[in-house]
Structure 1
Amino acid sequence: MENALKKIVAAQKAGKATGIYSCCSANEYVIKAALLKGRKDNSCVLIESTANQCDQYGGYTGMKPADFRIFVEKLADEIHFDKSRLFLGGDHLGPLTFASMPEEEAMKEAEELIRQYVAAGFTKIHIDTSMKVADDDREARLSDSTIARRGAQLAKVAEETFLELKKSCPDAVEPVYIVGSEVPIPGGQQGGAQTDQVQVTRPEDFKATLRAFEEAFSARGLDHAWNNVIGIVVQPGVEEKDAGCTEYDRSKAATLCEAIREYDNIVFEGHSTDYQTKIKLRELVEDGVAILKVGPGLTFAMREALFALAYAEKELLKDRNSHFMEVLDEAMVADPPYWKKHYQGTKEEIAFKRKYSFSDRCRYYMPEKKVADARNTMIANLKDGVPLNLLSQFMPRQYTRVREGLLQNDPEALIIDHIGDTIDEYLYATRQNELF
């Protein structure tokens, strides 16, 4: 079966400013929020897992790709979401988490990684071989030809795996591919990306990358797979920072976005679109960046909602509260690798960033037992609803919806609804309910 995500390309090339946002998260509240918005709008939903989150060893979530699919589909079933409108993607699939190994070993691991994603039925595959491995020259730029050669090696495994999958699942949907990686490393820029001097991809570099991949695919006899390459990752000039973002400036990306019009079957994929305004997000889609990746912006909204409930709980129960915020910070301090390279400053400044940085890192700690237990205690303490005066103080938009009878005064419903406000920005920008 042909992959319905190709409709994004068809719409763009027909002059329609239509795209899709990609929910890059393994958080249950975030995924539920995305699915509920999709159900309400009768829209499609694209959910992606990164190589950090899920791999053949479980990633930081403890889930392999097949586990992640089961996890997401279970949530879809719980809220009666039409799974024919659900797309699962694998993000930054390549030697990312195996880069400390020499090429032969790293690529062998990357092959198994991509094999597991395709075998699990993921239908949007971002092949990312842009990182250096142990035996690459540390002083020289990794060439387009090397990146493309490794990418084609993984595409061949993906194609072979899909043919095996079709033997047991004749109706399996062919994967589409995204290539390139003109972005910071998955998980966020180190040091908080405190500068606005984000370098927009040069048109000649985008074209050279695309040409190198096409030649590498052809050299391996992957012409059919090349026809399923629908996008290339570029940097249109966006990035989140600790307390804001580098905002999209379409004038700076004009020559890049003009270049995509020369290609009939390719759109741009933009990463790190978190915290752009809905107007800027729509401009990105209008300019050919048809796939908008968002991750930290959604878990930041989830964290905002949890903290709002924690503040309400403190006011309500004083010393008998869950101490959720304190427990979360203790977990982060006890296990710093997930945030240490990302936050800079004095001890006080770093403590502030652990809680409030837009470059959200708390998402890595939510699955920890003591953090989950504190969250569950807080939710149990508020199971009868948040008093309206406190709800108005800490979650005013949700307060209004509760008063209007549009939202249940239930802590988990409040969390999911708050995340949904961020998703609404992306739905405004992409008009993805028009795709299917």
Structure 2
Amino acid sequence: MSPLAGLATAHRNGTPYGITSICSAHPLVIQTAIRRAAASKEKYLLIEATCNQVNQFGGYTGMTPEMFVAFVLEIAGKGLDASRIIFGGDHLGPNPWRGEPAAQAMDKAEAMVSAYVKAGFSKIHLDASMGCAGEPAALDDELIATRAARLAQAAETAARAIGSALPVYIIGTEVPAPGGVDHAINDLKPTEAAAARRTIDVHRDIFAREGLTDAFARVLAVVVQPGVEFGSQNVVTYNPEKSQGLTGLLDEQPSLVYEAHSTDYQSRAALTALVANGFPILKVGPGLTFALREALYGLDLIASEMVADYGDRSLARTMERVMVAAPGHWHNHYHGSEADLYLQRHYSYSDRIRYYWSNPIAVAAVDRLRRALDGVAIPETLMRQFLPTLPARLGPAGNPEAIFHAAIGAVLADYDAACRGG
């Protein structure tokens, strides 16, 4: 049985457990997650794609939902049975087309949800919270729920058309926007319990009005703001006392838990507390590629020291050229002087450099780094200097891939521990 089905019961019985939601399309991240899942014989792996990342038009990855599933399953190969992979769709709604009139954007959102379900995505986050052209940025609860019900109907119809199991759903959205904010965060308040209650009640009523009572019974979780977030330069850590109202609300909603977004960079203790307090679905994405970038740049410095014809920080310099030449993924998110922008492009917690690793020039630069260090025994002293958070013993093995996977795996280890109760 999917671990998603037992989350609410486990929380209610005082035996909570969690599940990590991997929100990344980077092949090294997917590979690491699959390897860890394969090593844990009873573990399911939850991998999610977002509406901007993957949609019927390709999204910024160039992948449709069907292509994304094929991409993940190809990486899994014979190492992890497909039945152990749960595919989730995140923020599925009109967000990619919010610059268009609502009718047009919702038509596209319906088609996207249908494509996700037909591709094999079984966990669907219905998010119609954003205003479209001519609408306010924040919509009222009734309109959001009405549009969410419309998207749920599209999902139900698609599932029945292919004879698959009916999806489970997540409702609600967090504040600030997914992916982290673009400034330092000084004050972040968790969602008020009354607001979360209203979200649940309005969705339940409107789903019933639209003949979707059975679909609402498959709503597993609500996205709220538990008081965790990361900006470009700082992280707001979880404070259990501030979310007590939200935790208490679950006593009134025994079939529901919360889904925690933007948990990247939280400590193991904070993640464990989130699971214990009713936030057992822990979404992480930029934190994984941030750790990978740290490993790549550390090896870039090591290659600069050890390999005669490698050059001085060849990878970092290439990434700077790639990002400056195509600023679309960062220029509206990073602010300040040229020196500030440089640091944010490479080192921001928002990790918007992650959008550029699939650029052919970036791929070639990473491959060149791999080749430069393949089989090269890195002294432990250089590992301590440039990759001090990773085991120094990895260096002498001369295996860059092992270092990449160790960096990503160190992050996932905190999530795995938290999901087991610490």
- TM bucket normalised to smaller: over 0.9
State the AA in 1 paired with 2:108: E
User: Cα 1:3–1:399, aligned 2, differ >3 Å: closer, same or farther?
Assistant: closer
Matches within 5 A, 1:118-133: 118-133=117-132
2:242 match: secondary structure: coil
Question: Which residue among 149, 152, 155 is the counterpart of 2:152?
Answer: 155
Question: Which residue among 407, 415, 419 is the counterpart of 1:418?
Answer: 407
State the AA in 2 paired with 1:102: P
Query: What is the aligned partner in structure 1 of residue 345 from structure 2?
Result: 354
Number of residue pairs the alignment of both structures matches? 419
State the AA in 2 paired with 1:413: A
Question: Which residue among 164, 173, 196 is the counterpart of 2:186?
Answer: 196
State the AA in 1 paired with 2:18: G
State the AA in 1 paired with 2:74: K
- Contact 1:312/1:386 (8 A) holds in 2: no
In 1, Cα distance between the equivalents of 2:202 and 2:161? 28
Give 1:187 shift.
Answer: 3.1
Give 1:396 shift.
Answer: 4.0
1:5 match: secondary structure: helix
Query: What is the aligned partner in structure 2 of residue 169 from structure 1?
Result: none
Once the two structures are superposed, what CA deviation does each residue of 1:75-128 show, in whole Å capped at 9, x if it has no partner?
1115x1132221111100000000011111000000011011000011111110
Matched, 1:366 2:357: yes
2:170 match: secondary structure: strand
2:48 match: secondary structure: strand
Once the two structures are superposed, what CA deviation does each residue of 1:163-214 show, in whole Å capped at 9, x if it has no partner?
0111xxxxx343210000023223332x23x123112100010000111111
State the AA in 1 paired with 2:90: D
Query: What is the aligned partner in structure 2 of residue 19 from structure 1?
Result: 18
Matched, 1:297 2:287: yes
Give 1:318 shift.
Answer: 4.6
Higher alpha-carbon deviation: 388-397 or 13-22? 388-397
Q: TM-score, normalised by structure 1?
A: 0.92
Give 1:17 shift.
Answer: 2.3
- Contact 1:20/1:432 (8 A) holds in 2: no
1:262 match: secondary structure: coil
Query: What is the aligned partner in structure 1 of residue 45 from structure 2?
Result: 45
Matched, 1:314 2:314: no
Identity %: 38
User: Cα 1:408–1:107, aligned 2, differ >3 Å: closer, same or farther?
Assistant: farther
Query: What is the aligned partner in structure 2 of residue 332 from structure 1?
Result: 323
Once the two structures are superposed, what CA deviation does each residue of 1:31-74 show, in whole Å capped at 9, x if it has no partner?
11111121223322111011111111111111100000011111
In 2, Cα distance between the equivalents of 1:231 and 1:385? 48
Question: Which residue among 158, 177, 199 is the counterpart of 1:185?
Answer: 177
In 1, Cα distance between the equivalents of 2:341 and 2:104? 37
In 2, Cα distance between the equivalents of 1:110 and 1:265? 27
Higher alpha-carbon deviation: 10-19 or 108-117? 10-19
Structure 2: runs of 5 or more not aligned:
none
Give 1:399 shift.
Answer: 4.0
User: Cα 1:3–1:418, aligned 2, differ >3 Å: closer, same or farther?
Assistant: closer
Query: What is the aligned partner in structure 1 of residue 108 from structure 2?
Result: 109
- Contact 2:3/2:44 (8 A) holds in 1: no
Give 1:294 shift.
Answer: 0.7
2:223 match: secondary structure: strand
Query: What is the aligned partner in structure 2 of residue 264 from structure 1?
Result: 254
In 2, Cα distance between the equivalents of 1:351 and 1:386? 32
In 2, Cα distance between the equivalents of 1:244 and 1:396? 21
Give 1:428 shift.
Answer: 1.0
1:314 match: secondary structure: helix
State the AA in 2 paired with 1:151: A
Q: Which runs of 4+ in 1 moved over 6 A?
A: none
Query: What is the aligned partner in structure 2 of residue 71 from structure 1?
Result: 71
Question: Which residue among 221, 238, 258 is the counterpart of 1:248?
Answer: 238
Higher relative contact order, structure no. (Cα contacts within 8 Å, ≥ 6 residues apart): 1
In 2, Cα distance between the equivalents of 1:24 and 1:173? 23
Structure 1: runs of 5 or more not aligned:
167-171
